[in-house]
Amino acid sequence: MLKKRLLERLRDLERDAGPRRARPTNETIDSILRHVGKILNTRQGSAPIAPDFGIPDFTDLAISFSQDSIPDIEEALRQVISKYEPRLADVKIGFDPQSDLRSAIAFKLEGRVEFGEKVMPVIFETLLTADGRLAVREEAL
């Protein structure tokens, strides 16, 4: 499995015209993190090549958040990430109640990344803010 997406590899080739070398796993995780952030901050219907790329508009759900909306958000996030980020396997999304966050809803995204024979678990924290945007960051294991 490739560590970076095609456009990232092409940009790297332009910057470094020297001999190709193996990239560290941190670059792969960073690439996945950036791509998941792009997926989750794209609204479905705005990418002409794939109408289901991205997530539904969660603005109304974030403003009028209730426990009933959690499973819908979790499933929407899991489906789109599983479909559009193939480097991340066994994707699981879970609500992460955090009392110190008043204007955001937190979810934990768990999965694994394969590097040849090596398998690395990853955990990302996903915050759905009141304006409907999603922030994604890597959580330390």
- The pTM assigned to this predicted structure is 0.74
Query: Tell me: the pLDDT tens digits for 30-63?
Result: 899 999 999 988 989 998 889 999 988 766 655 5
Q: Is the pLDDT of residue 10 over 60?
A: yes
Contacts of 35 (CB under 8 A, 6+ apart): 5, 84, 85
Q: Which residue has the higher pLDDT, 31 or 23?
A: 31
Helices within 41-125 (DSSP H only): 59-63, 70-84
pLDDT of res. 6: 74
CB of 55 within 8 A of CB of 134? yes
Does residue 34 lie in a domain region?
A: yes
Domain that holds residue 103: 24-138
Q: Interior CA angle at 44 toward 6 and 62, to 5°?
A: 120
Does residue 86 lie in a domain region?
A: yes
Number of domains in the chain: 1
Q: Is the pLDDT of residue 11 over 80?
A: no
Q: Which residue has the higher pLDDT, 73 or 20?
A: 73
Question: How far is residue 55's CA from residue 108's CA, in Å, rounded to a whole number?
Answer: 16
Q: In the predicted model, what is the mean pLDDT of residues 88-105?
A: 81
Q: Is the pLDDT of residue 26 over 70?
A: yes
Does residue 5 lie in a domain region?
A: no
Does residue 10 lie in a domain region?
A: no
pLDDT of res. 46: 92
pLDDT of res. 93: 94
Does residue 13 lie in a domain region?
A: no
Does residue 12 lie in a domain region?
A: no
Percent of the chain at pLDDT above 70? Answer: 77
Does residue 14 lie in a domain region?
A: no
Does residue 109 lie in a domain region?
A: yes
Query: Tell me: the pLDDT tens digits for 67-88?
Result: 777 888 889 899 999 999 999 9
106: CATH: 3.10.450.40
